[in-house]
Amino acid sequence: MFYSGIFSKYQTVVEEGILTPTQQYQEYQSWLELNQQLGGVIPAEKLAEKAPIQGKKELMEILQAQREQQAAAAAELQNIQHASEEAKLRELHSKAAANVAMAKERYGRFESNIGLLEERISEITRNRALATKDKMEALEKLMDIISRYGELETKLAEQGIENYDYKQMQKENFENRQAHQQQAADEFTAKLMQGQN
């Protein structure tokens, strides 16, 4: 039938089959060359399938075991990386918690400082009231002295008392300003620490 040409009416294409060892070796060489041209992307198992050698089954088992070992090693490496990332994350959480605790402590100190400032201001007010009372008593004594020793000496004494009062008031104002500045600085520091967290 081949030589008669009858088969041609069925659109048959004649190709050379891979039957002989030489043909099988040539196909294997073609696969190797193709793998080299592609940069080694063809898996070793596929190349081993095409290899015209005896004991191919053992070779395939070796390649399968090697692939399983590589997969297990990759999984172990991934587990180690996950553990390392989790440890880093825990460290970041502990640092953040420590920063929050430090900010709360500083804010607590800030509130305590406000209480001390209010206590100081209250004490300053009390001192001023006592000073006013003392002034009134001094004026009363002064009036008594005026009637006894004369007006000139009394004026000098009065000026001395006024100078003393002025110095006392300036000292109190200075201490009050210092306390307010310290409070503002503490409040700014506390807000800054809260803003960082």
pLDDT at 1 over 60: no
189 vs 107: CA distance, rounded Å: 9
Structural contact between residues 75 and 165, judged by C-beta atoms closer than 8 angstroms: no
pLDDT at 90 over 80: yes
Structural contact between residues 63 and 45, judged by C-beta atoms closer than 8 angstroms: yes
SS in 3 state form for the chain?
CCCCCHHHHHCCCCCCCCCCHHHHHHHHHHHHHHHHHCCCCCCHHHHHHHCCCCCHHHHHHHHHHHHHHHHHHHHHHHHHHHHHHHHHHHHHHHHHHHHHHHHHHHHHHHHHHHHHHHHHHHHHHHHHHHHHHHHHHHHHHHHHHHHHHCHHHHHHHHHHHHHHHHHHHHHHHHHHHHHHHHHHHHHHHHHHHHHHC
pLDDT at 65 over 80: yes
Domain ranges of the chain: 19-53, 102-196
pLDDT at 29 over 70: yes
Mean pLDDT of 153-177: 76
Residue 157 banded pLDDT, cuts 50, 70, 90: low
Mean pLDDT of 139-156: 71
The most confident of the ranges 78-82, 141-145, 153-157 is 78-82
Mean pLDDT of 65-78: 89
pLDDT at 4 over 60: yes
Has this prediction a pTM greater than 0.75? no
Per-residue pLDDT, 92: 87
Per-residue pLDDT, 19: 66
The most confident of the ranges 33-42, 112-121, 135-144 is 33-42
